[in-house]
Amino acid sequence: MSLPSPSYTITLRVEVAASQRATSSVVAAVADAGGAVMGVDIAHSTSHGLVVDVTCDTIDAEHGERVVAAVNAIDGAEVLKSSDSTFLMHLGGKIEVTNKVPLKTRRDLSRAYTPGVARVCLAIAENPEDARRLTIKRNTVAVVTDGTAVLGLGDIGPAAALPVIEGKAALFKEFGGVDAWPVCLDTTDTDEIVRIVKAMAPVYGGVNLEDIAAPRCFEIEARLREELDIPVFHDDQHGTAIVVLAAMINALKVVDKKLQDVRIVVSGVGAAGNAIVRLLKAQGARHIVAFGRDGALHQGVVTQDPHRRWIVENTNVDGFAGTLQEGLKGADVFIGVSAAGILSGADIAQMAERAVVFALANPTPEVDPLEASETAAVVATGRSDYPNQINNVLAFPGLFRGLLDTGAKDITTEMLRVSAVAIAEVVGPDELNSAYIVPGVFDHQVAEAVADAVRKQA
C-alpha cells in the first residue's frame, strides 16, 4: 500500500560527467529504486562536469537512504548532499506576526503606541465589549494542546506538537483569514490547562483545542465552554464529525441509500468516534453500533465513562454484542477512527451491497483502501494520496470565520450540523461520484459556505 509521498520529498545534489547519458542514468537509478522523480535542474556547470539537483518523492526516510545509495552506486556519480523538503519547509517555523498599520513616523508611533494607545485602553476599561472592535480579539483564535495525542504519534509532548499546531495556525489563516496562534502547554493537569486557557482568554475570540488525549479532552472542553464567553471547539472531536457527516451525506447519494435506514458500524469510541456518533444521530441516523477495543458497546456494558455511557444508552438498539468483524456482516457503512490494519478486504466483502467505507486512521487506515474498493462502492480515508480525503481543514476555518464574524459565545450542535450540510452542498450533482464525495481542501468556496451557514445560526 505504501507509495511515494510528498511528505518524504528529497533533493539530491549529484555531481556527474558533462553528458546527457550521465544525467539520464541518475534519473533511471532513482526510478529503479522506487523514487518518483519530480524534477531535474542544473545547479551549476564546469568544463568537465555538471552538478544536478534531482527532486523525488520517496516512501519513507529509509527508502530515501536507498535512493541515495542507488545513485552513489553509479560509476562517475557522487551525491554531494541530500536534503529533505519537509524539514526545509519547517526551518524557522511556518508562521510569523506582521503589522497591519504603518510605523514609519513619530505620528504613527504616537497613535499605535504611547501616548495615543492610552485612550483606547481607557475606552476598553469602560466598555470591555470594545475589545472585540478595537483589538486583535475579533479575529484571533488560540490553538491549544498539551501534546498528548498528536496525529497518530501519541503522547510526544508540547514541544514536539508545535510543528502540528503551528501548521494548524497556518491553515486557519490560509483558508479562513483567521489569525491563530499556537499555545503548547507543558502540563497534562486538567485543572491547570483550564486555568491557563481561562487566564489568557481576554486576547482571543475563540479557542481551538487540539491533540489532547481522551478522556481529559472531554472535561477540558466542557469546563471551558461553561466558564468562558467565547466559543471553544475541540477539532479532533467536532471537526472530524463535521467532515464525516458531510462525506456521509454525499456518499449515501452515490449509493442511493438514506441515512435513517442504513446500518452504521463505528470503530473507535474516543474523542472523534463519540462526536461522529452524536452528529450522525443529530442528522437522523438510527442504526449505529459502536465498537471499542473490547467489542461492541451495548446495554450490558458497564462503564463509568459518561461519554461511553451515552453511546451505550443511545445506540445499538438491537443489543448486538459481537466482534467488529461480526458486526460488519450486512452493514451498509463502516466508519473507522481507531487503529491501523484491523480489517481485511475479506471483512469489507461481508458488508451489504453498495457499502460505504470510511477508514480514517492516519497515516495507515483500518483497511487497505485498494482492497476495500474491490467490494465497497465508496471508500474514503484521511490520506491525501487517495480519493475522498476526510480532512478537518474543510471544517474549522469556515466554522471559526462565522463564529468570529458574529461574535458568537458558544457552539451549538446545529452549527456543527449545518456546517456539514454546507460542505456537502459544495459538491454539485454534476460533480458527485464515488471518487468525489467531498470538495478538495483547496476549494475556497468551502470556508465561505461553512461561515455563511454558521452566521445564519449564530
Catalytic-labelled residue, pool 8, 137, 168, 386: 168
Concerning whether 113 is annotated as a catalytic residue, the answer is yes
Catalytic-labelled residue, pool 113, 258, 329, 456: 113
Concerning whether 137 is annotated as a catalytic residue, the answer is no
Distances (CA, A) of 251 to 332, 334, 375: 11, 12, 15
At residue 44, the 3 state secondary structure works out as: strand
At residue 159, the 3 state secondary structure works out as: helix
Task: Report the alpha-carbon distance of residue 317 to residue 150 in Å, rounded.
Answer: 34
Task: Report the alpha-carbon distance of residue 204 to residue 256 in Å, rounded.
Answer: 44
Cβ pair 378, 437 in contact under 8 A = yes
H-helix segments, 290-395 = 306-314, 324-328, 345-349, 369-372
Q: Is 330 left (phi over 0), alpha (psi -120 to 50) or beta?
A: left
Task: Report the alpha-carbon distance of residue 436 to residue 288 in Å, rounded.
Answer: 25
DSSP assignment of 209-273 equals E-S--TTHHHHHHHHHHHH-SS-EEEIIIIIHHHHHHHHHHHHHHHHT--TTTSEEEEE--SHHH
Q: What angle do CA 420, 253, 425 make, to 5 degrees?
A: 35
H or E segment at 7?
Answer: strand 5-17
> Would you name the residues annotated as active-site residues?
113, 168
